Amino acid sequence: MNEATGPGRGGITRRGFLTGTGLAAAAASRLTAESTAERAAATQETAVAFGPGPVRIELVVNGRKLTTQVEPRVTLLDALRNYLDVTGCKRVCDRGTCGACTVMVDGRAVYSCTMLALEARGKDIRTAESLVVGGRLDPVPEAFVRCDAQQCGFCTPGFVVALRAALDKNPQATEAELEAAVAGNICRCGTYEQMRQAIAQLVRKGG
Amino acid sequence: MAEGWPKQRRVLGSKVRRLDGPAKATGLAKYTYDINRPGMLHGVIVRCPYAHARIKAIDSTATRKTPGFRALTILGVSRDGVVVAVEGNQLTYTPAAKKKAGQEERITVTVNERVTLIKNHKVVSLKEVQVGDRLTIEVEQDAIGRELFFAGEEIAAVAADTEEHARDAARALRVEYEVLEHVVAEDEVLKDRNKRTVPAPSNYSEGKAATQGDVEAGFREADAVVEATYGVPVISHQCLESHGLVAEWTADGGLTVWASTQATVATAQQLAARFGLPAARVNCITHYMGGGFGSKFGPDVQGFAAAELARRAGAPVKIMLDREAEITTAGNRPSAIGTVKIGGKKDGTITAYAVDCYGTPGYTGGATVNLNLLPYVYTDAIPNWKRSHAVVYINAGAARAMRAPGHPQNCVLTEFAIDDLAARLGIDPLIIRRKNLPPNNPKAPPNSWAARRNTIYNEQIDIAVQLSRWKEKWHPPGQGNQVGSRRYGIGMALHTWGGFAAGQPNECFVIIGRDGSIVARTSTQDLGTGQRTVTAVVVAEILGQDPASIITEIGESRFGQSSGSGGSTTCPSQAPAALRAAQAARDELFQKVAPKVQADPADLTIAPGKVVDRKTGREWTWKEFCARLGMEEARGRGVWSLGIANEPGNEDISSGQVGGVQVAEVSVDVETGLVRVHHIVAVQDCGLVVNRLTCESQVAGGVIMGLNYALFEECIRDRVTGRQLNADMEFYKLGGLGDMPKITVHLQDMPERGVIGIGEPPVISTAAAVGNAVFNALGVRVPFLPLTPWRVLQTLAQGGKIR
């Protein structure tokens, strides 16, 4: 699929990329027309798509526009942590099974280790850091603190973000629905009993 | 006599929220993994892919050419030496270590790009080397012939400008291996005890044995004797923040590390020793820590490597283990498989107990159970016992302490046997437990464990029976409630643990400023136990403040002496140190201010938010009073250790040895084999409770770790490749919220016993209680943990009869 390498660019062409596997094409289509530079690139046959070298990207994180250079293989999690110093999302399993890296992407809870940084361009990314404003805690982390639903705290931002996303989607969510919202998150210290109390309090207060 | 805990307690023992809770819950707390230093490089370790191999060839040429590459170190081959000659590209030196009297070893090295020379913590060329220089010399080719004993063993470390580049550079290191025979399953060693695939003379080591009384006579006396084999697997700590550190050499030749460690002081000391620095030139920072559970007591290979790479590259380096390395190389809880024979009378008296067990600590290490503590909490009551333990080495990462090392294994090997005996005798296992509790020792100090243990356990069993509705729910094994294909059961187990102050001194400093601010400073680390808040609670109690107003500065080795957080020693060491420090600071405050307010220091006392002159009735607000310090401040130092705790009069400040009782209620689906735990009651003896909120959390968290041990966790290794198949989090199972039962925690307050550590005890008996509940549900024993559907169905299929 990489037959039409642009001279001196070392990358693959957009056409070559798009005529590749269905999966690659699907992924690529999600990346198209996200920015004016991209749109311009899409009209040029020999334009280099992405990589393998670093690509300049802009991400909107917690309402701030942040710019960096990452290789296309860099996940959203690694871009946030290693390139933008936004470290509330934690790297634990790095393959979408523990939930510690959960962030909100356009309001949806997403494992940021399973999304490429490039895919996140133009989307509204929110991390746990957005859940405190001027020292005022959002009700979700507030409930976690009150009930002591954290010990080492390394998994906590992931739980908190997943619950915030669920409550944003449905402020009337039941305890069972909120438990389901964090079914993909793992805590090793064993704070689930206190988490249930926090969830119960959140449900009583309506998020 | 020294002043102890206040009799009237305002904050101590109440529920105080974690001071760092908001920062942790919103991701603002910076853990080691989150540290990004200016110009920081990322390090990656090259690991052996085989379970047992020897390095045949190594070549870093390609690695050094990869984009962004900055530094490489070949592990385990560098030597320190003093240069005796430099000729052309030949360097001759005498090794610093192992100098024998009268004869000086000389080593000559041909220096090329694959030889690294380090002088004064900087990489130098041969031109910069003079006779008499002290160097670190690393010759890449010296790695040839090195034997590697498990998949994941460290070979080299590289640093590059980005993590992606560091991974590329690591992949580019060419290593050729001679693959050797491996063993990764305990049973293969038992088949051939002369096998040798590990550093020890053979993979099987006889281990220790001991006996008391006449075991055979004991079995003859018994009305019933049961013999069975039980076992628990190797499990992983699975710290969510993996092991690792960020190393940064300072301009003046010091070293600062941000480490995910349970021991800031020991980590700094080990780094100082390795790099020839005065201990005071290394600062180890652990402000926040993402779990350790016994596996994080030093820099480890990756920590030394990060510091080594940092000095070579002249830039900070971060190495954090990836999940696979975390599971395969950073410690584990060893397995234990034991054949237990137990005999008892109809009244519940155990007449004899014999256990013959073995387990694996990985490729090196010692016994995997606490042999001296078998038959566990009943040892002092059972007249005749026999115990032996063999160590089986396999080609896997070495075990490390894991939350109550040895105890969960002991508990299973004892408590499973007790319930099986009760079933054979046709009695409630409660009867056996009560009948064989260790006796009180009337000669021991009145509040000591030895004086009260029988009473404490009986009280705990009473409470557990009531909270779990045991009398209503217990039934003879296999004869309980059925709902469709589900069978219900209930089970109990007992545990014990130390929780004394640490042997090494622990310091705490309290500084009262003239603005009334209070700083509590200690080098100890908060693993998630709530130690930071505990320190604040103690200081706030003594100084009449709100814990939230105490400025806690913790987790830096330069803040003083502290021991590693192991053995549940931190709270019983640090809470008394904080007590003494606060008292000393208060006394200094009174000494300094009393003359200025025409008072006698002996008349001054602290009430909430104020200082009171008991003689005249005068009062000052805290701020008013502290303002009288003028240009001074009041400081106090507190120190505590096991030695101080053992001094007469100190037994109610901290002590140790606790008991606990847990009851689990389960249901088992006999069609699918699925075990569900519905309720766990945990009754925990905990001495003087400092912070009830975090103390309860510790107990509930321990129970959940025990539940994971019972139902989910196991390191599964492939016999053919020798690699772990589930070095991840999808196939290495840990329970989520939906798997959790209701957990009822009952703290058995005994403030007269002083502060006792309870991080470890509540983890011990959960798995045994769950296993016994499954036995009670089914009427057949599922003998090996974890109690997976496969194991349950296998047990049922192999002749286990259910109604």
Q: What is the mean pLDDT of residues B408-424?
A: 98
Cβ-defined contact of B240 to A92 (cutoff 8 Å): yes
Any idea which of A47-56, B311-320, B391-400 has the lowest mean pLDDT?
A47-56
User: Which tokens belong to A91?
Assistant: 């790297």
Cβ contact B770:B666 at 8 Å: yes
Domain boundaries, chain B: 398-407+426-499+655-797, 501-645
**What band does A37 get if pLDDT is binned at 50, 70 and 90?**
low
Percentage of residues in chain B having pLDDT higher than 70: 99
Q: How far apart (Å, rounded) are the C-alpha atoms in residues B519 and B39?
A: 32
pLDDT digits (tens, 9 = 90+) for B427-463: 999 999 999 999 999 999 999 999 999 999 999 999 9
pLDDT digits (tens, 9 = 90+) for B579-621: 999 999 999 999 999 999 999 999 999 999 999 999 999 999 9
Is position A13 within any domain?
yes
Cβ-defined contact of A188 to B238 (cutoff 8 Å): yes
Cβ-defined contact of A74 to B21 (cutoff 8 Å): no
The residues that bridge with B494 in the sheet, in sequence order, are B661
Q: Is the pLDDT of residue B2 over 80?
A: no
* Nearest chain A Cα distance for residue B323, angstroms: 6
What pLDDT does B558 receive? 98
Nearest-CB residue to A128 (from B27, B696, B734): B27
Cβ contact B267:B557 at 8 Å: yes
* Nearest chain B Cα distance for residue A43, angstroms: 31
Cβ-defined contact of A154 to B290 (cutoff 8 Å): yes
Any idea which of A24-28, B27-31, B199-203 has the lowest mean pLDDT?
A24-28
The DSSP-derived string for B251-309 is TTS-EEEEE--S-HHHHHHHHHHHHT--GGGEEEE-SS----TT--SS-HHHHHHHHHH
Is position A17 within any domain?
yes
What pLDDT does B79 receive? 93
Q: What is the mean pLDDT of residues A64-80?
A: 97
pLDDT digits (tens, 9 = 90+) for B95-126: 987 666 666 789 999 999 999 999 999 999 99
Q: Is the pLDDT of residue B152 over 80?
A: yes
What CATH number does the domain containing A173 carry?
Answer: 1.10.150.120
Nearest-CB residue to B24 (from A93, A146, A153): A153
Among A61, A182, A193, A199, pick the best mutation site for testing chain B contact (most B Cβ within 10 A).
Answer: A193
Is position A120 within any domain?
no
What pLDDT does B802 receive? 45
User: Which tokens belong to A66?
Assistant: 């942040």
Residue B364 CA: distances (Å) to CA of A174, B190, B449, B558? 51, 17, 35, 33
Q: How far apart (Å, rounded) are the C-alpha atoms in residues B588 and B582?
A: 10
**What band does B626 get if pLDDT is binned at 50, 70 and 90?**
very high
Q: How far apart (Å, rounded) are the C-alpha atoms in residues A156 and B27?
A: 8
What pLDDT does A34 receive? 46
Domain B398-407+426-499+655-797 matches domain B501-645 at the CATH topology level: yes
**How open is the CA angle A147-A149-A154, to the nearest 5 degrees?**
150
Nearest-CB residue to A93 (from B700, B729, B737): B729
Q: Which residue type sits at B85? A: A
Average pLDDT of chain A to the nearest whole number: 84
Q: Is the pLDDT of residue B69 over 90?
A: yes
What pLDDT does A28 receive? 40
Residues in chain B closer than 8 A to A141 (CB atoms): 22, 25-26
Q: Is the pLDDT of residue B229 over 70?
A: yes
What pLDDT does A19 receive? 39
The residues that bridge with B137 in the sheet, in sequence order, are B79, B117
Average pLDDT of chain B to the nearest whole number: 96
Q: Is the pLDDT of residue A2 over 60?
A: no
ipTM field: 0.96
Q: Is the pLDDT of residue B565 over 70?
A: yes
Q: What is the mean pLDDT of residues B521-544?
A: 98
Q: Look at residue B286 and give its three-state secondary structure.
A: coil
Residues in chain A closer than 8 A to B698 (CB atoms): 151
Is position A156 within any domain?
yes
**What band does A205 get if pLDDT is binned at 50, 70 and 90?**
confident
Q: Is the pLDDT of residue B573 over 50?
A: yes
User: Which tokens belong to B500?
Assistant: 């004394």
Cβ contact B628:B634 at 8 Å: no
What pLDDT does A1 receive? 32
**What band does A38 get if pLDDT is binned at 50, 70 and 90?**
low
DSSP state of A95: S
Q: How far apart (Å, rounded) are the C-alpha atoms in residues A9 and A48?
A: 7
* Fold classification of B398-407+426-499+655-797 (topology level): Aldehyde Oxidoreductase; domain 4 (3.30.365)
**What band does A12 get if pLDDT is binned at 50, 70 and 90?**
very low
What pLDDT does A13 receive? 38
What pLDDT does A14 receive? 38
**What band does A33 get if pLDDT is binned at 50, 70 and 90?**
very low
Is B366 or A51 the better-scoring residue by pLDDT?
Answer: B366
Of B688, B662, B615, B692, nearest in space to B765 by CA:
B662
Q: Is the pLDDT of residue B140 over 70?
A: yes
Per the structure, the complete domain to which residue A136 belongs is given by 130-205
**Chain A, nearest residue to B262 by Cα:** A152
What pLDDT does B481 receive? 87
Is position A123 within any domain?
no
Q: Does domain B501-645 have CATH number 1.20.140.10?
A: no
**What band does A31 get if pLDDT is binned at 50, 70 and 90?**
very low
CA dihedral B761, B766, B771, B777 (to 10 degrees): 140
